[in-house]
Structure 1
Amino acid sequence: MSINAFALGLLLALLPGLADARADKADKALQASLKMYAQAVRWNDFAAAAESLDPALRAPEGFSEDDEAYYTRFQISGYSLKSGVRSGPADYSQRVELRIIDVASQTERVKTDRQIWRYDAAAKRWWLTSGLPRLE
């Protein structure tokens, strides 16, 4: 067996393992991103949640005073994952049930937040592409 054939055989044997390692890193990054985002929303820290937004969706001024004023009108009292689907190596979507209290009226209601996440291989992180939830 020539050295080239041996090297090719070794490379072919290692490729699935390398792909699995890359997928495992992306999975860990996804879980970390989802956890950080969920914690920020649960604690009504929408400025921190906005850090998960795809940079292409962010306003040039960042999380503005108007954004802050909008989100302080509400209190999140529940955040429950209802379903999640990995449709490809760089795509994930989930449905989350939000329990929202209107601060002014003290009434609670339930709203479904449909989130779409995309993996950015260059940044090695997941971005929320569906935007922050509208709570009205």
Structure 2
Amino acid sequence: MQFFESVSRVPIVLHKPILAFAANRLQSALLRESVHLVREGVVTLEELDRVVTHSIGLRWATVGPFLAFHLGGGHGGLRKWLGTLGAGIERGWEELGRPSMDEGTVNSLIEQAEAAYGSRTYAEWVRVRDAKQTAILRALADVDRNEA
């Protein structure tokens, strides 16, 4: 814990063992539904990336999913949200996709990724990603310093 904190990381100790990291499991769940939405033709791969980066990605850069829904409940918090909007959440979960990663799906994803992101090299995309993530971390650090 001390090592990770010393290099500006935020380690979390899991209360029980699970396969994979908690963050990787969340990422996998989002990827599964992302593949489903692209496979079904709801959005393209590039559009899905924009949906995430311009909505939940921004939200999750500042608050986690539970705080987001707690705030979404207004003055009643998560209790109110779960009692109203969250009441039908399980029905929504039943509608989530279970896409097959068959050859057609894989080929479609690869073709769309190459069409959307082939204009830059890997190194260029890494620089862009790192610059954006660093900017977000700096902005959040500034907010944290100003709140203290």
Write 1 or 2 for the structure with the bigger share of strand.
Answer: 1
How high is the TM-score relative to the length of structure 1?
0.29
TM-score normalised according to structure 2 size: 0.27
Q: Structure 1 or 2: larger helix share?
A: 2
Indicate the structure whose relative CO is greater, using CA pairs within 8 Å and at least 6 residues apart.
Answer: 2
